[in-house]
Structure 1
Amino acid sequence: MTEKRTKNKSDLAWHPSLKKVFKECERWWAVHFSERGDVTKRLGELQRSIDAPGSFSPGPLTLPLISLGSEIQACILAQTGSSPEFSQAFQESVAFRALEFRSLAGRSFPSDQQPFYIHQHPSLSAAGPAILSQWRLAETCARVLIALGEKDQRVNPRESFRDGWGRGTVEAFVIRLFSDAFAISTTYEPVNALTPEYQALLDAWRTNDEAIYRASMQAAAEFHLTRSRQSTDHVTYEFDAPFDRVFPVELLAVQALRRRDHLPEFQTGHNLVDTPWSVVSDLSTALDQPLVVSAEARLRRDYPEFR
């Protein structure tokens, strides 16, 4: 696909709340990823793990830190619109997040222990491929996510499930959205009712009525903003990672699913959604990522439960 390019930051109307996030990303990059030093180091670690004999076993922080480096870079580059550099960073973010999600999920399926994952809200990693219209991978991630949600519901006490996957926010929304979009039946049911903003969007995501769609997306975007802040020791917020604040993954996935189903591509009227969608909507659906391909091949060979 042809990529759009916006030359000036002023051409893009990012939501005002993201000004601070962009500055935090620039500071983080300067301190931790200057000249891609740490990213290059972690990429080298991953390559050595791929080449090593025995079962594939990269360090526990290798994939997360590679992903984080790409995520921070994608956020910084997004300010000036689509470009080859942004496209690579964004697609690498999606690819490494999805790979890490599936790798950790695979380690959870063989036993009745509670699901193992690093990210508090893995639905956001699972939803990334849909934004890039990578539908085969998107469906795989959907099936893995739904299976994990069902397992979490089965093995965790009601209190723990209620405060985690069963709290009725982003996990519940993405699971139900994917269940509908990919026709996957599920026994998953959150303890808390799905938050009204997400329920309204779930009810309206296939609508041809522009007013209804805009109203539901705007409400969901406002809810997203209320949950976009750094988590504390006492409160866990769904969108505390910079990438998930700049790119509201669960809402962009809805935009992509509507395009897949040839539904009208309405503007939502909310720049938390419309601006990032204008940047990512026409990115190529595929990028040559040899390390992702090689790591996935090793995971498939060494771990039968990997999907």
Structure 2
Amino acid sequence: MMAAAKSVSPVAEMPTLKGRIQAEAPLGAVTWFRVGGAAEFLVKPSSAADLAQFLRALPPEITVTVIGAASNLIIRDGGISGVVIRLARGFTTITVDDGGIVCGAAALDVTVSEHAAAAGLAGLEFLCGIPGSIGGAVAMNAGAYGSDMAACLDWVEIVTRSGGQMRLPAADLHLSYRHSNLPVGAVVTRARLRATPGDTRLIASRMAEIRAARAATQPVRARTGGSTFANPPGMKAWELIDGAGCRGLTRGGAQVSELHCNFLLNTGEATAADLEGLGEEVRRRVLAATGVTLDWEIKRIGQPIARVAEVGQ
């Protein structure tokens, strides 16, 4: 009698990895909005070399998506096909060197700023007011409170989609407002940030000011994703949204924040479709009221699931 054929785990068909590969991995819980579907394959490499080896062996037709702290991200309800890479252990090291900080891409922005402050290095205080990780901060040239990554980035190390490893000077990224020219498919693995010696008391005072200002003006304890739309040249997105009557606007379980109307909130039962749909309604109303088209600052990735929710005030 012929033995029954054994089923093969889809993970077994992936290239080998020293880290972890998980099939149909739920992603909603790792996002700040707490919404979204699953990754077809979630890959957590142990090191840059491990990631490079994996990508070299991964067939080029398989799509690759990189997520970091998922603080400025909506993952759509249908999830993400292909491979999702999330850097964790092995990419969080922070070291102080001569005149700067070298940090892994998964190191949190706030943690990097705290290490700099403890070392008496000034110029990175702004990072304590930016939710997210260094890899994402490089990719979008994150900035707030008078500075951005373009002002402090020295170099960045990446792994390319084909599995190459390289170090790029900041100038090669052509950093601009909320944008960097990273090679398509590149994964940031490590970066060096410049800083200057400073008075530890003044550094601590500045960080305290930033934290207080953020707590007073942003819904920091809510399920949110940071600034939703980029500021148009010479304008403030929140003022345009407020002027278009969108403060407090709702769609399903999503709401425009009453405290800062360039923030969307998951009030508890929102779906990714609720949040993205509400954002699109805000864009429509602002365009109708002002003639200005708001550009999303929050990234929206993955596949949607058809669902319609009522918009209300």
TM normalised by structure 2 equals 0.25
From the two aligned structures, give the one with the greater helix fraction: 1
Q: Which has the higher contact order (CA 8 A, sep 6+)?
A: 1
From the two aligned structures, give the one with the greater strand fraction: 2
Greater gyration radius: 2
